[in-house]
Amino acid sequence: MMQHFLEQSSLSHFLYSSSRSALLWLVVRLYIGYEWVTAGWEKIQNPAWVGDSAGAAITGFVNNALTKTAGAHPDVQGWYAAFLQNAVLPNPALWSNLVAFGEVLVGIAIIVGIFVGIATFFGAFMNLNFMLAGTVSINPIMFVLSVFLILAWRVAGYWGLDRFALPLFFRNVRMRNL
């Protein structure tokens, strides 16, 4: 029998392929999901994010980010500042609602464990955007945990709806490909 060129270590097998690690990923999921839901819920309750003054908060956030573009090593890179100026600032209410509801939806999906890898990818993408806008806070921690959760997508939702949804999804995909 031919040996694989790159063998999976027992640690990586345990973390990313074994349902025995599911409890660890449940704890990570609950933490990340809670952070997303609470952050999004605060925004949904705030009229400067969602409601009569929707867009006011994100306009302030973006304008603050744009002040961090100067110097040899700016906190906000020029290409990202151009995105903020040309895509976000002209449509603050749209982006405000996308952020607020996106945070809540990502958090709920991660907590209940449905399509954990996909939901976590979108959460990590939001974290990346917050960091590119010069915001640190808890974002780097959530981003790193999200990367690990994405890598563990096959077992991360074992104690959640993925335990049932993924086998159905992949069975249907295989049946269509026959």
Contact 143, 130 (CB under 8 A): no
Tell me what pLDDT residue 91 has. Answer: 98
Flag whether 157 is in a domain.
Answer: yes
Flag whether 2 is in a domain.
Answer: no
Flag whether 146 is in a domain.
Answer: yes
CA distances to 28, 49, 76, 128 from 82, in Å: 34, 22, 10, 16
Flag whether 17 is in a domain.
Answer: no
- Of residues 165, 171, 155, 167, the one with CA closest to residue 114: 165
Flag whether 177 is in a domain.
Answer: no
Tell me what pLDDT residue 56 has. Answer: 98
Q: How many domains does the chain have?
A: 1
Flag whether 6 is in a domain.
Answer: no
Tell me what pLDDT residue 8 has. Answer: 80
Tell me what pLDDT residue 169 has. Answer: 83
Flag whether 33 is in a domain.
Answer: no
Averages of pLDDT over each 10 residues, the chain, 178 residues: 70 90 97 98 98 97 97 95 98 98 98 97 98 95 98 95 90 66
Flag whether 3 is in a domain.
Answer: no
Q: Would you call 164 helix, strand, or coil by DSSP?
A: helix
Does the pTM exceed 0.85? yes
Radius of gyration of the chain (CA): 19
Tell me what pLDDT residue 146 has. Answer: 98
For residue 124, give its domain range.
Answer: 38-172
